[in-house]
Amino acid sequence: MCGRTACTLAPDEVSRACSYRTRGGQRRQPRWRDGDADKYRPSYNKSPQSMSPVLVSQRHFDKSAPVDECVLASMRWGLIPAWFKESDPNKMQYSTSNCRSENILEKKSYKDPLLKGQRCVILADGFYEWQRREKQKQPFFIYFPQRTSPSQEKEEDQQLLSPTYNKEKSETGVISPGFSEESEAPPEWTGWKLLTMAGVFDCWSPPTGGDPLYTYSVITVNASPNLQNIHDRMPAILDGEEEVRRWLDFGEVKSLDAIKLLQPKDILTFHPVSSFVNNSRNNSPECLQPVDLNSKKEPKASASSKMMMSWLSSSSPSKRKDPDANENKEEDGKAKAQSKPVGGLRLWLQGANKKPRTK
């Protein structure tokens, strides 16, 4: 299953972190739908009913858009079917935050949007999962392995999330809508490599009138071998630009063919984190900080987790929106007092490197 995620990038960073190639070979940065960048709030601890960034085909919103054009949208986690009759979406009587791939064609809530081509890619730094132990549950943060230098990724063109990073645009806050064939490709994005999870979405309109609400469900599959000791399920991961393109291209790739992409993938890495993340109101880098399960001392940094924490701690706050604690209800005084662990994190970052855990 997938019941908690983190997505800490600011809206303009999300755009740069998920560039894609058109069928003509042009590298583009997806723009946000009008107003959707303001609906999204970065968070270290996202739970169902929060707003998350998703990548979708622009043709869902504009029938005249090029077939290969993608757009970023903010959607609420937890699918509300278009046929839901209540006036309040919070009156849903069952959870739709996850959808099992094996049953996706058996349940109307998911079958209808799937057959309509309403497929999306949920973007996140990673997701949390809890391992059952004798007396408690141990949380883990699970994510794509991270590179520590641009030279480590030689197959950039085949990856969705080896995106472009334009320093000048970052400083001005201007988002490029894309790049023409004549324009020079900007420098490579060197921030966090976002996780790409397959999902379905729907659009619900209040029966009494009002703005439509876009919501999504994360599709899950059996856990890959290296994650089975943590949990028996995992999100359906789309690995690389081609898989993402095929999942989003509902015109060329029919639903029954797209479902074949939903397979366990033994490509993720992970590290244990503290129980601080258990409370969804806690929203700070401490949620992501690795812990040593066999020692009370601060752990040594793995290659991927060190890159993550270093990038988060050094990124200029002026380029980010502050995590919105209100997104996960109001935050209590204790959580506020624990929301400034930067000093401790920087001390932790001085630890020696070792290979990230993958089993």
Nearest alpha-carbon partner for 32 in 175, 130, 132, 139: 175
What is the rounded distance in angstroms from the CA atom of residue 39 to the CA atom of residue 46? Answer: 14
Question: How much is the pTM?
Answer: 0.77
Q: What is the mean pLDDT of the chain?
A: 78
**243 an active-site residue?**
no
Q: In sequence order, what E strands does the chain have?
A: 5-7, 20-21, 27-28, 31-32, 43-46, 51-57, 70-77, 98-100, 119-124, 126-132, 137-143, 195-204, 213-222, 233-235, 269-272
Classify residue 97 by its DSSP letter: S
Q: From the candidates 13, 70, 129, 286, give the one annotated as an active-site residue.
A: 129
pLDDT by residue (tens digit) across 148-193?
Answer: 544 444 444 444 343 333 333 333 333 333 333 334 554 567 789 9
Please, what CATH class does the domain formed by 5-348 belong to? alpha beta
Calpha distance 286→225 (Å, rounded): 28
Tokens of 261: 């992409």
Enter the DSSP assignment of 55.
E
Instruction: Give the whole-angstrom CA distance, residue 195 versus residue 162.
Output: 11
Let me know if 69 is a catalytic residue.
Answer: no
Top-confidence range, 50-64, 141-155, 310-324: 50-64
Instruction: Kindly state the tokens that stand for 241.
Output: 């630009």
355, 317, 335: which is closest to 13 by C-alpha? 317
Residue-range domain boundaries for the chain? 5-348
User: What is the pLDDT at residue 36?
Assistant: 95
CB-based contact 50:43 (threshold 8 Å) = yes
> In this predicted model, what pLDDT tens digit does every residue of 13-45 receive, in sequence order?
999 999 888 877 888 899 999 999 999 999 999
Confirm if 185 and 164 have CB atoms less than 8 A apart.
yes
What span, in angstroms and rounded, lies between the C-alpha atoms of 27 and 11?
A: 19
| Alpha carbon distances (Å) from 51 to 5, 41, 60, 84, 271 | 11, 7, 19, 20, 25
Percentage with pLDDT > 70 across the chain: 70
